[in-house]
Structures are given as C-alpha cells and as structure tokens.
C-alpha cells in the first residue's frame, strides 16, 4: 500500500480480516520449507509486482500513457547462475 493514509488503515484492519488471514496462513503453510530470508525477499518482489500492475491500471484509467512490460521465459545467455538453495523433495 503506497498511500500513507491507506497504509495506516490497512495495518489497523489487516489483523481482523479473515480472508487475508487465510491467505497468509496458506502461504506460510506452502512455503514452510523456504528459508525466512528467501520468503522475505519474495514478499518484497510480490509487493513490487502489485505496485507495478496498480500503476499501469491507474494510468490506463486516467487515459494517460501506461508502461508496457515484456517478460521472457527464455534462459539468459550463458544460462542461470548456479543456485546454493536446494528445494526439499516432497515425500
């Protein structure tokens, strides 16, 4: 929430929002095997993605220019760097 006024309201009301609590508990359950620092990094990335989408929607609604985003599912030249994190195997 980038608007300071709305952020304050969200912080006050979030603990009592049952739908939000269910989402957070479900995410914690699904990501229990992921180290806490990695989860924190992913939360930052998710917030950035939401803000990026919200900015585009706002610009479109106001009739102004909206940024175009392009993504690629191709591997980068030379491949991805080796990861030090190993995903636990489900049994």
Domain range list for the chain: 1-30, 34-62
Query: Is pLDDT larger for residue 18 or for residue 78?
Result: 18
- In terms of Cα–Cα distance, which of 47, 31, 48, 30 is closest to 85? 31
Task: Give pTM, 2 decimals.
Answer: 0.48
CA pair distance 31, 39, nearest whole angstrom: 8
- Dump pLDDT digits (tens) for 67-79: 665 555 566 666 6
Q: What is the pLDDT of residue 83?
A: 58
Q: How far is CA 82 from the centre of its chain?
A: 23
- Dump pLDDT digits (tens) for 37-47: 888 888 888 88
CA pair distance 65, 39, nearest whole angstrom: 34
CA pair distance 71, 41, nearest whole angstrom: 20
């Amino acid at each position: 929430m980038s608007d300071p006024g709305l952020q304050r309201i969200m912080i006050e009301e979030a603990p009592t929002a049952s739908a939000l609590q269910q989402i957070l508990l479900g995410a914690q359950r699904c990501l229990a095997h992921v180290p806490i620092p990695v989860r924190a990094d992913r939360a930052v990335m998710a917030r950035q993605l939401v803000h990026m989408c919200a900015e585009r929607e706002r610009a479109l609604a106001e009739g102004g220019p909206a940024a175009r985003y392009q993504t690629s599912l191709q591997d980068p030249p030379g491949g991805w760097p080796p990861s030090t994190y190993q995903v636990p195997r489900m049994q």
